Structure 1
Amino acid sequence: MKERINWIDWAKAFCMTVVVFCHLPQQEDTFYLQYLASVILSTFFFVSGYLKKQNLTIKESAKKYGYSLLLPYIIYNAIYYPYWLTKFYIEHGSITIIDAFRPIVGTILGQLNSSFSCELNGVTWFLIALFIMHILTDMTNKHKHSKSIMLILTITSMMLYGANKFYHYAPYITYHGLIRCLCFFFLGNLLQHWHQLKRFNLRKDLTIGTSTLLLSLILFYWHIHEDRFIIHIILFYIVNTISVFAFIYLAKSLNAVKSHIITLISIGTMLIFGLHRMMIGIIDYTLENSTDISNITYNWYQNIALVIIIELTLLPFIICTQERLPSLLGKK
C-alpha cells in the first residue's frame, strides 16, 4: 500500500471541512464566507493535480479515472435521487414523470440546468471536471511541448472564465468549475513533476503559510471592491494562487502531527462530498419543522458545530466503505 502523505491529508481534510461549512445556509455577504467560497476549490484542485499519477496513456487514464471519478459520480447521484424526489414533492405538493426525469437528464449531462434538465446532486460536478482535467493533462504530457500547451490552456481557461463571468454565456456549473480551476490542477501537477514541496521546515512553512494567508486576505478585500472588471478577474487568480500556497504551507507545517480523524476525513473526501448536501437538507428540514422557522440560517459558530457533527457522523461510513465499498471512495 502506498504510504500516505500526511500534509496532503491535512490539506484535503481542511478543504473538505471548509466546503461543508460554505454549503450551510448562512448570511452570504460576510467577508469570511466570500473569501472561503472564492478560494477553497483552488486548493482542492491543486492537491488533485499534485497527486496525479504520471506517464499514463489516454486509454489507461480514461480507465483509471473513469472508475475512480465517473463511477462515484453515478453512485452518489443515484443515492441522492430518492432524497431529491422527496424534497421536490414536499416543496411542490406533487411530482410528474417529466419532473422526475429532468434530474436524470441533468446528471447524464453533468449537472446541466436547462428547460429539459436540472441539477441532481450538484456538488458532484467536480468529479466530471476532475476527469476532464486528468485526460487533458495526460494528453498534453505526451507532447514534447507539453508545458507550452498547458500554458496556452491555462491562459485560455482564465479568459473563458472572465468572459463567462461578464457575459454569462454558459450558466453551466461543470463548465464554470472546469475553466475556473484548470490552472490550479495544472499548477499542482507541474510542482509534482518538479519534485517540489518535499522538504519540511516548521518555522519556514509556518512563516510562508501565515504571511501568504494575510496577503491573500488583503488582496481579496481589494478584489471584491474593485470595479474595473479585468483587474477584478486578475485579482481573483492572484488571490487564489496565493491562497493555495497559504493553505499548502500551513498544511506542511502540520506534517509532523498525526491524526487518525484527519486521515479518515482525507480518505473519505469523496464520500463527504457526495453525501453532505443531503445531510444538510435533512438537518435544515428537521430544525425548520421543530422550530417553525422557515428558510433557516446559521451563524458561524453554529456552522462549525454542524460541520463537526456531519463529518463525525460520516466517519463510521468511511471506515466501513474502506473495506466493503471502496468504489464510494474512488478506490478499487
Structure 2
Amino acid sequence: MAKEEKRIAWIDVMKALLIILMVMGHTGSPFLIYIYLFHMSAFFVISGYTFRGEKYSVGAYIRKKFLTILLPAYAVNLVYTVFYWLMQQAGVYALVQTTEPISLKDRVLGLLLRYQTTDLGGATWFLLVLFEVEVLFRLYAWLAEKLGTQKVLWVLAAASGAVSYALKLHNTTTLPYMLDLALMGCLYFGIGVFLARTNVRQLLFRGCYVLIPVCVILTYYFGHIYFRGRLPMNWPSRNFKNVFLQLTAAFGPAYLTGLISMGLAKTRLCDALSWLGRRTYCVVVFHFAALRLVYAAGVALGGFPREQLAQLTPMGELTAHGGWIFFVASALLLSSLMSWLSCHYRVTDFIWNGKISRKI
C-alpha cells in the first residue's frame, strides 16, 4: 500500500476555513448566501486536488475509503440512533425532537438500507457522497489508464455533472443513496484533479493581480445581488442552477479563499488552522451534537428558551447582534475537543475521526 502523502499546508488551512464556513452556515451567520455560493463545491475540489487513487489498486482504494469514510459515517449515525432511542425510553424524547418517535428497528433499517440519518447526523450526507465520488473517480482513473490518456478523466467529470443536472432539470426521481449528488460531486472533484495535474493552477495564481478584483466583483454580484434573499446552491435539497452559472458563482469566492489560505499558510496561524483542517471529519459529524450540548447548558442556566433543545440550529433571537459567533466558536471548540479526546482510543478515533489506528 502506498505511504501517506506529505500534507500540503495551504490545503489543510483551506479545509479549516471551509469547515468554519460550514458551521457558520448552520448557526445563523449573516454571510449565509456568500457561504452557499461555494463552500461544499470547494470541499470536493480540494478533495480532488489531493486525489492519488492510482497509487492503489481499484479494490484497495475502495476498501481504504470504505474504512475511513463510509463505515465510520454509519457508525456515528448508529450512535445518534441509539441516543434518540434512549431518549424515547427515558420519556424525554419530546424535549429534543419535534417529530414523532420512531422505533429502534425502523431507525436502524432506515439507516442501513436508505442512509436515513437523525438530525444530529444531518451533515453526514457529505460523507456518503464523498465516498461515492472517490469510488467513481477511481473507476474513471482505471479507464483512463486502460485508454492511455488523462483526458478521459476530464470528459467523464464534465459528463457526470451534466447528467446530474439533467436529472434535476427533468424532475427525475432522485437516485438511491444520493448517487445523483455524487455525479455532481465528480464535476468539482475532477476540477480539483485537473488543477493538481496541469499548469492551470500556476497560471491562475500568477495572474492574481488581475483575478482578485474580478473575483471580488463576482462574489459581490452573486452574493449580494443575483442571489439576494435565496440560497444559491444547496446540495441535500438538490437546489442547483445550471452548471455554468454554478461554476461562475463559485469561482470568485473559491479563488479568494484559496489565495487567503496560501497567505495564512505562511503565518503563525498556519499550525492552528492546519490542526483544525486535519479534523474536519469530526466537525462534520459532531458539530450539530456540540450545538445541542450548548443549548442544554443554556437552558439549564436559564439563558435559552426550553424550545431550543428540540431545534437543530439556533433560534433567530439567539443569533442576532453577533450571537452566532458564540455558537460557531462553541461548536468548533467542542468538536476539536471531541476529536482530540477520541484519538486516544481506537474505537472512538474510528467513530469520530474516521481513522484506523491499526490494521482492520
The reply to whether TM is greater than 0.5 is yes
- 1:19 pairs with 2:22: yes
Counterpart of 1:329 in structure 2 is 353
Does structure 2 retain, via aligned residues, the 8 Å contact 1:110–1:174?
no
Structure 2 unaligned spans of 5+: 231-238, 309-314
Cα 1:312–1:97 change in 2 (3 A) is closer
Counterpart of 2:160 in structure 1 is 153
- 1:248 pairs with 2:255: no
TM-score (norm 2): 0.74
Counterpart of 1:128 in structure 2 is 128
Q: What residue identity is the alignment partner of 1:299?
A: A
Shift of 1:112: 3.5
Shift of 1:280: 1.2
Shift of 1:157: 1.9
Does structure 1 retain, via aligned residues, the 8 Å contact 2:37–2:253?
no
Separation in structure 1 between the aligned mates of residue 286 and residue 93 of structure 2, nearest angstrom: 21
Does structure 2 retain, via aligned residues, the 8 Å contact 1:209–1:247?
no
Q: How does 1:1-332 map to 2 (within 5 A)?
A: 2-24=5-27, 26=28, 32-55=31-54, 56-85=56-85, 90-92=92-94, 98-112=102-116, 121-143=121-143, 144=147, 145-163=152-170, 167=171, 169-170=173-174, 174-175=178-179, 177-194=181-198, 197=201, 208=211, 211-224=214-227, 232-233=241-242, 234-258=244-268, 259-288=270-299, 290-291=302-303, 293=305, 294-295=307-308, 296-297=315-316, 298-299=319-320, 301-322=322-343, 324-325=345-346, 326-327=349-350, 328-332=352-356
Q: Secondary structure at the match of 2:264?
A: coil
Shift of 1:46: 0.9
Same amino acid, percent of matched pairs: 16
Count of equivalent residues: 318
Does structure 1 retain, via aligned residues, the 8 Å contact 2:290–2:330?
no
TM-score (norm 1): 0.80
Does structure 2 retain, via aligned residues, the 8 Å contact 1:209–1:249?
no
Cα 1:155–1:263 change in 2 (3 A) is same
Is 170-179 or 71-80 further displaced after alignment? 170-179
Separation in structure 1 between the aligned mates of residue 264 and residue 65 of structure 2, nearest angstrom: 29
Post-superposition Cα deviations, 1:80-103, rounded to whole Å, max 9, x if no partner, equal: 224333566535489999532333
**Superposed CA RMSD:** 3.6
Post-superposition Cα deviations, 1:136-179, rounded to whole Å, max 9, x if no partner, equal: 1111112223332222222212333444xxx4843988446434
Q: Secondary structure at the match of 1:299?
A: helix
Cα 1:195–1:78 change in 2 (3 A) is farther
Cα 1:288–1:243 change in 2 (3 A) is same
Structure 1 unaligned spans of 5+: none
Q: What residue identity is the alignment partner of 2:336?
A: L
